[in-house]
Structure 1
Amino acid sequence: MAQMTTAADAWVRRFHPSRDPRWRLACFAHAGGAASTYHRLSARLGPSVEVLSMQYPGRHDRRADPFLTDVRSMADQAHRALLSRTGPQQRPLALFGHSMGATVAFEVALRMEAEGLSPTHLFVSGRRAPSTYRDERVRLRDDNGLVDEIIELGGTQPEVLADEALRQMILPVVRNDYTAIETYRCLPGAVLRRTPVTALVGDSDPKATLDEVRTWADHTRAAFALRVFEDSGHFYLDDREDEVVDLVTGTLRADRAVPAS
């Protein structure tokens, strides 16, 4: 009999499984990104932190699965996939999201709190707070305009986008995800009650000013911290991985040392 594929099987990639991790960290990629975005970080954080890298549909090994065109649908499905990883018998689960992934992770954290199973921490990277708004319409550009956006942010090498076959593979994914994040609107009262938040951002990120990132403090009633990476842009993680690893592990240890209220 064929084995049934579960929601967790579809969504969760464990590149470096750990037999006895102290924490699990669910990671959500940027617009156009995939689970493989966090392969290197997964290796660096293990074995004490086991990374659960979330695979959005419509890319890589999920290429045949229909896109999800809005952030809340992404969060709904990712939350259901993580339910089996959350609970009193499971390791503490934290969330990390970069750019669009930060907003998806925030929405997942809201759903987890509604279930009474709060994440131990939420790390939001390279993304302004949900309640800040810019009228961005990158999704409406032609293909060349979309390529210009990708190159400006520095997430993909220009020579990759010069290959027509690769462009045809990449651009529909990017356009879908830009549609999801650009049409997202934060609901009034969307505030975490028990989940601490740490925001990470490059000081020259064109997608998030420091004031916009500081506004994440308004979205949690727990602790808030801000880490700014100097001389860094939107994809600061590529060059500042050592510091990010130290920040994540140090924060998780500190959270564990604080008695539950």
Structure 2
Amino acid sequence: MRFQNEGTAMMSARNREEDRWIRCFHIRQESDVRLFCFPHAGGSASYYFPYSKELAPGVELSAVQYPGRQDRRLEPLVDDIAELADRVHEALRGTLADGDGRPFAFLGHSMGAVVAFEVAQRLKQRDGTVPAHLFASGRRAPSRRRDLADAVHKRDDAGVVRELRTVGATDPRFLGDPELLAAILPVTRNDYRAIETYAWTAGPALDCPITALVGDRDPQTTTDEASAWAEHTTGEFDLRVFPGGHFFLDAHRAEVAELISGALTGEPRTSSLKGSAA
């Protein structure tokens, strides 16, 4: 009995840790595949709530909640991509181990695309499994670097605000509210530090399909830089270019949901949850 109780306690502790990291907005136990989504710099799990409603019924969406935001706002921020990927990997491997055998896929936008890639690498190298598909949105391939002489995380507050206005990541009304801005800036600066100091370490490519998505006017990612994701898999590669800037995902939600749903299940994206209340 003692060992049974210890096992139950360990399982409960593990579940609590996973619950801190993973948010499932609409449970679809009959779905064919689970899609884990990784937020952009300064972003949170709730960014993907609209996509949870848009995807085909055969896809169950869960989003990763990084420390230091929303319900985790009192936890220390993580300003290193490798450490963040390690911690997400630990949470996800428990979730996948306790799952029902459904395949899983990753979607990451901007910084989230790199975190998703690094977590996929850890799953492959340490657990012998890979996502069924990786969707890398709004981010140049890990092997492509830029001169960051004007790194955002080193700018003053006004400089960080300019960046947020440029990429359209934040409601402009928030940027004009001193109290809200005081909450936004530390998280944003932290995440920019993480992604701007990230250095890809060459290693074996993934073997899952990768689809790169990019806006044709994205100041952070050119189509050539997005095309270089092909170098990071031995599987199939596809590049999809959308009209718009860095956050083309907002303006083209229906099209992106259709693309993801089709790639993962072949189903139309029409969902009984579309338009439902939060």
**Greater relative contact order (CA < 8 Å, ≥ 6 in sequence):** 2
* Residue 119 of structure 2: aligned partner: 108
Secondary structure of the 2:226 match is helix
The CA distance in 1 between the partners of 2:178 and 2:100, in whole Å, is 49
2:87 maps to: 77
Distance in 2 (CA, whole Å) between partners of 1:46 and 1:214 is 27
Stretches of structure 2 lacking an aligned partner (at least 5 in a row) = 1-8, 267-278
Q: Give the TM-score taking structure 2 as reference length.
A: 0.87
**Normalising by the residue count of structure 1, what TM-score does the alignment of the two structures yield?**
0.92
Which residue of 80, 86, 90 corresponds with 2:101? 90
Asked if the contact 1:18–1:46 (Cα under 8 Å) also holds between the matched residues in 2, the reply is: no
Give the counterpart of 1:126 among 134, 138, 154. Answer: 138
1:250 aligns with 2:262: yes
Q: Percent identity?
A: 50
CA distance in structure 2 between the partners assigned to 1:45 and 1:89 by the alignment: 20
Give, in angstroms, the shift of residue 20 of structure 1: 1.5
Shift of 1:190: 5.1
Structure 1 residue ranges without an equivalent (≥5): 255-261
**Residue 38 and residue 7 in structure 1: after superposition, are their counterparts in 2 closer, same or farther (change >3 A)?**
same
Amino acid of the residue matched to residue 89 of structure 2?
H
CA deviations 1:116-174 (Å, max 9, x no partner) are: 11110000000000011012211000001000000110111222111000010000000
The one-letter code of the counterpart of 2:79 is T
Question: Aligned to 2:136, what secondary structure does the other structure show?
Answer: strand
Cα deviations across residues 32-58 of structure 1 (Å, max 9, x unaligned)? 000000000011125321111100000
Residue of structure 1 aligned with 2:53, choices 40, 43, 57: 43
**Residue number in structure 1 paired with 2:276:** none
Give the secondary structure class of the aligned counterpart of 2:76: coil
- Contact 1:45–1:245 (8 Å) recurs in 2: yes
- In 2, distance between residues paired with 1:207 and 1:37? 19
200, 225, 229: which is aligned to 2:242? Answer: 229
Size of the aligned set, in residue pairs, is 251
Aligned-residue Cα RMSD (Å) equals: 1.5
Larger radius of gyration: 2
Residues 1-261 of structure 1 aligned to structure 2 (within 5 Å): 4=13, 6-45=16-55, 47-86=57-96, 89-114=100-125, 115-136=127-148, 137-189=151-203, 191-192=205-206, 194-230=207-243, 232-253=244-265
